[in-house]
Every structure is written in structure tokens, then in C-alpha cells.
Amino acid sequence: MVESRKALPLGDYIALTYQDVFVDLLTPLRFLERAANFLAGKPAVYYRDRGWTYAEFNRRVHALAAAVRAAGVDRGDRVAVLAPNTPPMLEAHYGVPLAGAVLVPINIRL
């Protein structure tokens, strides 16, 4: 844990302590969880003639994470995905890290 009384130098004029600043890291996974909670019925993804709400997209991401873990992928493993820029690739950007693995996206145009 970070020492709460340690000063953070911020130039010559300001020094703040960790207690002075509220830090809540908003990672992509935390963003999705918050959006699924607060904007559940709002549109999150549109692709061609189909759309998903934040709640639906979050469920799909969690299902992918469960499938990745069920396939035997362990924390820190790399998962390569070869797909165009479509909703499944977007789901992989959230689902693979949620499973604890590292996504290795492969560009289909290479």
C-alpha cells in the first residue's frame, strides 16, 4: 500500500498528499462495469443493423471471459485473436483481460 502521508511533488508551487487527492482508476473494465450499472438500457455498441445496450454488452463480455477461462487459459496467458474490427473483436478487448489474460489482437490486413 502507498504511504498516505507521502507528498507528491507537482512542480515548484504545489505539493499534495495522497489524502488530498481522490484517485479512482477508471480502467476499461471498470468503465464497462459502471456503464452497465448506471446506463444499463442505453445503447453501447452499434454495428450494421444491430445494437447492444451496456447491459447486453457487459453480459457478452462476461460470457466470453468465462469461456476463455473454461478453455484452460490461465492468468497472464496470451490470447491471440484474428478478427476484423467487429463486435466480437471489441468483446475480446474486454473479455480476455477480464479473464486475467492478455489480448494479442492480430490485424487481418497484414
Q: Which residue would you say has higher pLDDT here, 104 or 9?
A: 104
Question: How many structural domains is the chain composed of?
Answer: 1
pLDDT at 26: 79
Residue 8 lies in a domain: no
Residue 13 lies in a domain: no
| Domain enclosing residue 66, as ranges | 23-106
Residue 3 lies in a domain: no
pLDDT at 19: 59
SS3 readout for 18-29: HHHCCCCCCCHH
Query: What is the per-residue pLDDT across 20-61, written as a single tens digit (0 to 9) for each?
Result: 555 667 789 999 999 999 999 999 999 999 999 999 999 999
**How large a percentage of the chain has pLDDT more than 70?**
78
pLDDT at 6: 54
Query: What is the per-residue pLDDT across 57-97, written as a single tens digit (0 to 9) for each?
Result: 999 999 999 999 999 999 999 999 999 999 999 999 999 99
5 has a pLDDT exceeding 70: no
Residue 50 lies in a domain: yes
Residue 35 lies in a domain: yes
- CA 60, CA 54: separation in Å to the nearest integer? 10
Q: Read off the CATH number of the domain in which 47 is found.
A: 3.40.50.980
- CA 23, CA 8: separation in Å to the nearest integer? 13
Residue 7 lies in a domain: no
3 has a pLDDT exceeding 60: no
Residue 12 lies in a domain: no
Residue 14 lies in a domain: no
Does residue 110 contact residue 80 with C-beta atoms inside 8 Å?
no
pLDDT at 25: 73
